[in-house]
Chains A and B, each alone.
Chain A
Amino acid sequence: GESVGLHLPTLSVQEGDNSIINCAYSNSASDYFIWYKQESGKGPQFIIDIRSNMDKRQGQRVTVLLNKTVKHLSLQIAATQPGDSAVYFCAENRGNTGKLIFGQGTTLQVKP
């Protein structure tokens, strides 16, 4: 079925390092993208979003980059902390419908 794809299922980083989680999307008509974080036993939590008229957006310790030419989205986490350990999902929306299409998720493991 339709999906937003993720390149790596698991990413392991050292505490204090920067993390980069990647995502490929398939439909050039997608115009809104979100990153969610899901900790064990919890629901997905909104981290940051970006619209297709932007290339980059920064939040607190996180940056999302959008490359429309190659249909690629990335989430950068600066100074990764143990509390960042979770599964990260990218999701896309097309035309402001109610549906978010989620990728399969990348597990981020932070080593102390």
Chain B
Amino acid sequence: DSGVTQTPKHLITATGQRVTLRCSPRSGDLSVYWYQQSLDQGLQFLIQYYNGEERAKGNILERFSAQQFPDLHSELNLSSLELGDSALYFCASSPYQGANYGYTFGSGTRLTVV
């Protein structure tokens, strides 16, 4: 157990729907990072929050949004889902704003859009 908790583990939904993925960081970590992992794109950085504020943004689609709450858990919202959004979504956390001590990943949410 890495200490980073992601729920749900699996999610199956239909095209056009909206889902929310949840992440609880390790105790004491202030940064949360979201990554998408698909077979053809590898691990792609989506977004980072640090202590409630957005700190870095990757190639996150406009249909996707995220936030970090006062208790430091984070949610990734995916809307108007398309078949191509099927992927593993990972959350990671770290104590720092920057990545140069690495991060700790959760076990992921597998999203299947049908």
Which A residues lie at the B interface, using CB under 8 A? 1, 3, 31-32, 34, 36, 41-46, 49, 51, 89, 91, 93, 96-105
Contact = CB atoms under 8 A, between A and B. Distances in A.
User: Across chains A and B, which 3 residue pairs bring their CB atoms closest together, nearest first?
Assistant: A96-B98, A43-B105, A98-B48
Chain A interface mostly: loop
Nearest to B40: A104
Contact of A98 (B33, B43, B105): B33
A35 B93 CA distance: 16
A71 B27 CA distance: 36
Contact of B105 (A32, A44, A104): A44
Contact of B102 (A1, A31, A49): A49
Contacts, number: 70
B43 A93 contact: no
Nearest to A51: B100
Contacts of B42: 3, 89, 102-105
Interface in B1-30: 2, 4
Given A99-B99, A103-B42, A42 B107 contact: yes
B104 interface: yes
